[in-house]
Amino acid sequence: MKWRGRRGSGNIIDRRRSGGGRGVAIGGAGGFGLLAIVVVGYFLGVDLTPLLDDGQMQGGGGGEITAADEEAAQFVSVTLADTEEIWADIFANEVGRAYEPAELVLFKGATQSACGGASAATGPFYCPPEERIFLDTDFFTTLDRRLGAGGDFAAAYVVAHEVAHHVQNELGVLGEVNAVRQRSDEATSNALSVRIELQADCFSGIWARRAEAMFGSLEPGDIEEAMNAAAQIGDDTLQREAGRTVRPDSFTHGTSEQRQRWFATGYEQGSLEACDTFATDRI
């Protein structure tokens, strides 16, 4: 992905030096890690709950801001700026109104949000009450080393996916569906969550198509990186990798195949209408 030398976003809130506290290990079934993931999972983060019993999963490291941290922050800022231009253009030409971009909170170790505590172990997430994305760039290391989804475009896909939840919020989809989820039983709530997540994957595909056209930022292999990331964070894959029985009724984000397919739909068709996961019987 070609990103160096391009403008960054003015909507970054940097808490990495604010002393927000260190993360904690989340092996076992108690403590801050589990609570944070349960709360954040409801608000559309990357669902790492199948790995809760894996002692290799850790919270954010905290500590010194390294050169790698600074580069990751610059990368996130450029990626966020790209999403802002792309969605502003789509809203102006297809929605008929201005796009109000989300803010993105960078932290290192742990921080707090209106949606609960956050750490690298929770994964990036979008908090609707604040209209903010929360991201510890240590998650990119988890994505690469633990989940097998390395590459800069894989990381960009994760950012674009969380921005897509803000787009859903701007369109009124997120609030409407989450209101129904609050009144529903667990099975129905999970099924609706899957449709939300798959639509966000589809919107991420639209972003990738537009980024290629507007900025020429894609390089050979980038789409494959995004598709691999989508596969590695599928509910079935995460449950299987954690040594658990695959339980479709517990899915909240969609299978690997579904996540790849909907990303590809957005990339190939490039329209909001093609991403209506709520109007199809085949998700």
What confidence tens digit (pLDDT) does each residue in 72-95 have? 999 999 999 999 999 999 999 999
Q: Give me the pLDDT at residue 38, please.
A: 37
% of the chain residues with pLDDT over 90 = 65
Owner of token pair 């905290």: 62
CA 67 to chain centre: 24
Residue 52 has pLDDT above 60, yes or no: no
The structure tokens 């590809």 sit at 264
All residues at 6 or more sequence positions from 121 whose CB lies less than 8 Å from its CB, including other chains:
23, 26, 33, 36, 37, 48, 57, 58, 59, 60, 142
Q: Is the pLDDT of residue 244 over 80?
A: yes
Residues 140-197 have pLDDT tens digits of 888 888 888 889 999 999 999 999 999 999 999 999 999 999 999 999 999 999 999 9
**pLDDT reported for residue 43:** 55
The upper half-sphere exposure of residue 17, i.e. CA atoms within 13 Å in the direction of its Cβ, equals 7
pLDDT tens-digit series, residues 5-47: 999 999 999 998 875 443 332 233 333 333 333 334 445 566 5
Element (H, E) at 161: helix 152-171
Question: Is the pLDDT reported for residue 229 higher than 90?
Answer: yes
